[in-house]
Amino acid sequence: QAQLVESGGGSVQVGGSLRLSCAASEFIVSDNCLAWFRQAEGKEREGVASFAVVAVGSHSQYYSDSVKGRFNISIDNARKTLYLEMNNLKPEDTAMYYCSAGPGVFCAPGSWGSGARMAYWGKGTLVTVSS
């Protein structure tokens, strides 16, 4: 069973940047989806970005409209690590950020929902953006 451990959260001012990391215990194979979700206080969990491993050397990246152009999702297969580079952070980005993994068929934003279809989850890392 895959284990996911997030790190890199913290407090930052508006306009700042953070890079989240998610270390995976299992080898990342094709037809998998690796994704970042977030949950702000009092709100439902939402998808932020996903990385679809289509085949070795082939992938697709997806972003929510609220982070498109500011966030970048990437993967380091050698280190079994998923990253989320977050730039130009806004107060509304404040949330607990979770790393998740699941079937590739659920990787497009239209399939994210609240993440119920994802099979594995980390415990989260908190991001706080203050003005």
Residue 111 backbone class (left: φ over 0; alpha: ψ -120 to 50; beta: rest) = alpha
DSSP conformation class of 46:
E
In angstroms, the CA 119 to CA 53 distance is: 15
Quick: pLDDT tens for 9-68. Answer: 999 999 999 999 999 887 655 558 999 999 999 999 999 999 998 777 788 999 999 999
61 burial level (CB within 10 Å; 0-12, 13-18, 19+): middle
* Residue whose structure tokens are 């989320």: 84
Look at residue 57 in the predicted model and tell me its pLDDT: 74
